[in-house]
Amino acid sequence: MAITLNTVSNTGHGTLLVCAYSADATGNEELVAAVTGKSHFIKKIRVDCCPGTTAKWIQINSTAAALIGPVDLTDYNSTFEYEFIEPLKVPVGTAINIDEESATPISVILEYKTEP
């Protein structure tokens, strides 16, 4: 129900890195805020279920639609990681969110850039 953005840092390669944690990411939690008139581009995403928990599925969303997933994380202590060859474009003026089916702790690392 709430996500904590622990760090937002510049990678030095033209992208930003967001590290986040949520005890319960149900409810479409915002990872990156929308920027009016601009698109975000997702380069890499990693989602870890914290030890001792099992998330049913996670999904990366824009404000309006699914971008990635749902991805099944029913195995104990699962990880989903994906690096795009060409960054995934998020629709103009929309945020990047994460949603999860079950109320279990997860951590997220997201590498992205925003149009100049």
Max intra-chain CA distance, the chain: 42
- Please give the model's pTM, rounded to 2 decimal places: 0.85
* Domains of the chain in sequence order: 2-114 (2.60.120.340)
CB 45 within 8 A of CB 68: yes
3-state secondary structure of 76: coil
Q: What does each of the 116 residues of the chain score in pLDDT, given as a tens digit?
A: 577 877 677 777 778 888 988 887 777 888 899 999 999 999 999 988 766 655 567 777 776 688 888 887 776 667 888 899 999 999 999 999 888 877 778 888 999 999 87
In sequence order, the 6+-apart residues with CB closer than 8 A to the CB of 32 are: 18, 40, 95, 96, 110, 112, 114
